[in-house]
Structures are given as structure tokens and as C-alpha cells.
Amino acid sequence: MNFKQQLIDRFDDKTAVIGIIGLGYVGLPLMLRYVEAGYKVIGVDTDKDKVKKLNHGICEIKHISSEKIASAIEQKLFEASSDYADCTKADALIICVPTPLNKYREPDLSFVLDTMDNIAPHMKQGQILALESTTYPGTTEEELLPRIEKTGLKVGVDTFLVYSPEREDPANPKYDTRTIPKVCGGDTESCQQVGKALYSVAIDNIVAVSSTKTAEMTKLLENIHRAVNIGLVNEMKVVADRMGIDIHEVISAASTKPFGFTPYYPGPGLGGHCIPIDPFYLTWKAREYGLHTRFIELAGEINAYMPCFVIEKITDALNVRGKALSECTVLVLGIAYKKNVDDMRESPSVIMMEKLEEKGAVIAYSDPHVPVFPKMREHHFELSSIPITPETLKEYDCVILATDHDAFDFEMISQHSKLLIDTRGKYHRPALNIVKA
């Protein structure tokens, strides 16, 4: 039987069932895109509470529409499950689980490998498996391929394997799942053909590369490029600050050059599930080849220092005003890692909050996207978001603009804060109560 053509035909005539493992920031938008294209999707997630809520049309990720999920369920095009046995119902299995770092800043593939071990007993002939989680070059070939073939299936013949990295950018109004080009690399040429058939029905532009390793390295390069350039501009910020120069004015002027310059913007540190983490996947793998990725690691050191730089600026500003940080109340504006989302992963705001608390400050926060401080693996605060009013702002010795959500009234914040620490370059006019950090 020609499993390859049979599977391609099922994608073409929309009879294929798509299985998505991991119903989070990556899996849910992908699910909605396949539903929009007319495919039935089975979603698998180990969080039973999340599964129950999704099956009732409730999504706790703010920028993902609960209404669209409810509509997908009503149309009988989506169902969520916590049972890996349901993987056998799908023609395509797409893994969208986290790949964090462990406490030694080394790759933690436990989510991917546990998922693969749970999927493998339920795989069958005529399926394609796609990994979307960011990882080091060689993961698909070295870890997933042997686990599949251990079941007796032959990759490239009766089952197919590809790596296609996620490229989600939450709250970006310019691009969505459909319009962001999709890189795809197959374990064999047949795998690549089936992978292209899988993704081309939902994504406008498929970028085929020669191997799974190439696709894995592509994802790392994209995020390392950003991490290194952000590290550069963060270092420039520190130098400019010492010289009494506004780095944001410098960036604005440099951006007028029509060639050879791309603006990157400094901040209080790196956040999110990609940029602070992905570079270390390559540095770890490079050591296997006797290589030391000094440039990447240096950028990581600079970016990791940024929360400390902000704390130093706060301490200095309070000292000038005759106040000790240990005796102050501090309000942090924005604790999500980027503007207009509720994603807290690797947020530099949380690092700053911990450091401020260690130094004796009393901490509060306001974030319209995060009403209650969430449960996190490494960080914990018993706090809820407080409303921003002229009265509440005046209660705090220091206000830190950490994440510049559009919902904030920046004019009101500047008018009523005793001391405002601007980590995002939102305030261009000098003011006695504003310190840039």
C-alpha cells in the first residue's frame, strides 16, 4: 500500500484528522487554524482541568478566542482529551509541548520525550508525526526516530516524520498562524512531501529545507539573532546611560538609515518561552562538537544582567531622594514578558520583583492582563493586580514601568508617580520624577 499518497490524498480532500499534543500558546492557535481550514482536530493535553474547560469552550489564554474554540466544538471539529490513546484516531500528530531549561541552564527535553513515549504505543501505519517544539539540532533524528521505529513502523515508508518549528508571536496584529511562513524539514524525501501536504492546507507559505537538523538549526538562528542583537543594544544602553545619552533617541536616529541597520530596543531583560532559552540549546549541543559559543553566551550574560541594572538605577534614584530601598514601597507596572499578552514565562519583571523583595522593599503590581499572580514553577507571590489611579500611584515611593501595555494611561502615570522608572523608553521629555533604566 502506498501510505504516502494515501495520506497526502486525505489532506487534500479534508478527510484527515489532525492530532495536536499540547494545547497551549502554540497548539491552540494551530488547532483553530486547521478548524478554520475545515479539518477535524483532536487535542491532547495532560492538564485535565484545561481539557475540561476547553471542551466547554473556555480558554484561559487571553489572546486566544474562547468564542472560536466554542464554535469549533459546536461544529464538532474539535475535541480535547487527556487520553493519549486518542492519538490513534489521528492521521497527523503534531507535538507542541514546552522545551525549557533545567536549573543548570541545560536543555530539558522531558516534556518532548515523555510525550513521545506516550504517543508511540498508539501510532499506526499511515500517520505523520511532526515536532514543533524548539530544540537542538539532531533531536528529531536522535530521539524521536528511534522511538518510532522501535514500535516496528518504518519512517519514510509506512509512517512519516518531520520537524517544523513554531513561529507564534502573541498579540502581533500583523501576522497570524496562517500568514507566518512555515519551515519544514523531513527525515526522508517522502517525509518531506507528506509534511508539506500536512502544513500547506493551513499555512500560506511552506519553506522546505533539506533535513530535520536544518529546520531545527533554523529556529535557533532566528531566536539567537534576536537575543544577540538585544544583548548588543542592552549593552549600548548601559554605556549610553553612563555618558548621559538617551539610547532611544540614538536608535530613532540610526533607524533613519535606509540600509544596513535594523532597530532593536533595550528593556529590563529578556522574557518569553524562546529568546531567553533557545540559545542555550545550541551552546549545549555545540559542546558535543568541541565548540564554545562565546558570542551567544556573552549576549546571554548581558541580557541576564539587565534586571540588576534596573535595580541599581532604582537604588541610586531613591538614594538621591534620601530614601533607602529597604524602606520603600514599589509598584511594578506590567509583569507579562511583553506588551498586550498575559504570558509570564521568563518575565524579567518577576526577576526584578524577587530582587526588590530580597532587598526589603514592599512589592505590588498592576497588570490588566494578569489579574492574579499565577502559579509558576520557580517563582511565587501572593499578589493580585491593583488598579492604577492617581491615588494609588501616589501611595508608592517608586513605580517601575516594566511592560508597556497599551492599556496603561502613560500620561496619568507620569503625572502622579513620585518616582517613575522607565525601562521601555516610553517617556521622551525630561522630567524630575522620571528616571530611564
206 lies in the same domain as 248: no
Contacting residues for 288 by C-beta, under 8 A, at least 6 apart? none
238 lies in the same domain as 336: yes
- Integer Cα distance of 59 and 374 in angstroms: 15
Would 98 be classed as within a structural domain?
Answer: yes
181 lies in the same domain as 241: no
- The domain total for the chain is 2
202 lies in the same domain as 233: no
110 lies in the same domain as 239: no
- Please tell me the predicted confidence (pLDDT) of residue 232: 96
Place of cell 494611561: 409
315 lies in the same domain as 405: yes
Considering only CA atoms, which of 394, 409, 404, 408 is closest in space to residue 425?
404
Domain boundary among 176, 210, 244: 210
Considering only CA atoms, which of 231, 301, 214, 316 is closest in space to residue 266?
231
307 lies in the same domain as 426: yes
- Integer Cα distance of 415 and 407 in angstroms: 17
174 lies in the same domain as 281: no
Domain boundary among 210, 242, 276: 210
Catalytic residue among 191, 274, 328, 398: 274
245 lies in the same domain as 336: yes
Would 188 be classed as within a structural domain?
Answer: yes
- Integer Cα distance of 413 and 393 in angstroms: 7
Would 49 be classed as within a structural domain?
Answer: yes
Would 22 be classed as within a structural domain?
Answer: yes
264 lies in the same domain as 139: no
Determine whether 274 is an active site residue: yes
The cell numbers describing 293, all together, are: 559559543
Would 391 be classed as within a structural domain?
Answer: yes
143 lies in the same domain as 246: no
How far apart are the two ends of the chain, measured CA to CA in Å? 64
Would 222 be classed as within a structural domain?
Answer: no
What is the DSSP secondary-structure string of 67-100? HHHHHHHHTT-EEEES-GGGGGG-SEEEE-----
Would 399 be classed as within a structural domain?
Answer: yes
- Provide the residue-wise pLDDT of the chain in tens; the chain has 437 residues: 799 999 999 999 999 999 999 999 999 999 999 999 999 999 999 999 999 999 999 999 888 999 999 999 999 999 999 999 999 999 999 999 999 988 778 899 999 999 999 999 999 999 999 999 999 999 999 999 999 999 999 999 999 999 999 998 887 888 999 999 999 999 999 999 999 999 999 999 999 999 999 999 999 999 999 999 999 999 999 999 999 999 999 999 999 999 999 999 999 998 887 888 889 999 999 999 999 999 999 999 999 999 999 999 999 999 999 999 999 999 999 999 999 999 998 999 999 999 999 999 999 999 999 999 988 777 789 999 999 999 999 999 999 999 999 999 999 999 999 999 999 999 998 899 999 99
User: Which range of residues forms the domain containing residue 250?
Assistant: 227-436
- Please tell me the predicted confidence (pLDDT) of residue 240: 97
Contact 153, 115 (CB under 8 A): no
111 lies in the same domain as 157: yes
Domain boundary among 210, 242, 271: 210
Burial of 319 per CB tally in 10 Å (0-12, 13-18, 19+): exposed
Would 115 be classed as within a structural domain?
Answer: yes
- Looking up residue 142, the CATH number of its domain turns out to be 3.40.50.720
